[in-house]
Amino acid sequence: MKTITKKKVASVKTKIGFNYVNVKPTKKAVKAPISNTVSVATNPLLAALVEEDNFTLTENGATTFRSTLNHCLDFFAMGAALRTCNDASVISLFSKAFAENPLLATKALFNTRNIRGGAGERKSFRTILKWMGDNHPEIIQKNIANIPYFGRFDDLFVLFGTKSEKFALDLIKDQLEKDCKIYNDNLD
């Protein structure tokens, strides 16, 4: 049987990934920053209340979770069911996911629209695309070529009248020029 000395207890090793960090106990009181909002992650009582309120019943009367408590996963799980939601609910669900993880939320959005391997959902994709066109044009600019790839070129039309209109028009113009060149080359 090994004995643990006070010196060993004073320097507790904590594994973080592949790095080891020495954590030494302190007697100093740590002042928490003053905030107007309380985080669920830092407040165990609030986290327990959220978890307790997360139950509902299925149509068969079985107990199930209302949410995964992860906004990106909730958005992804809704998939084709988004077509039954109103536009405000769709935008609310996506904006929460986007605030949580922009990259993952954007990937889930394109999976929702994917006509070959995803849900193929057009209405909710276009609703969110229009919202993104006004609120996050930099994301639209980076992903403009993915819109017709995962959906159709007419999905770009919802960007007309938004801050991302120029990106949509440039892509349509470029594609029409390529198509005209191929057409004219084949006439010869």
**pLDDT per residue as tens digits for the range 36-90:** 454 556 788 777 766 777 778 878 888 877 778 889 999 998 887 888 899 999 9
| Low-confidence winner among 12-21, 23-32, 130-139 (lowest mean pLDDT) | 12-21
β-strand partners of 64: 56
Q: How far apart are CA 148 and CA 154, in angstroms?
A: 8
Residue 151 DSSP code: S
- Has this prediction a pTM greater than 0.75? no
Strands (E), 41-132: 55-57, 63-65
- Candidates 122, 120, 123, 75; CA nearest to 95 is 75
Domain assignments of the chain as residue spans, ordered by start: 71-187
Give helix 102-113 / helix 71-78 axis angle, nearest 10°: 0
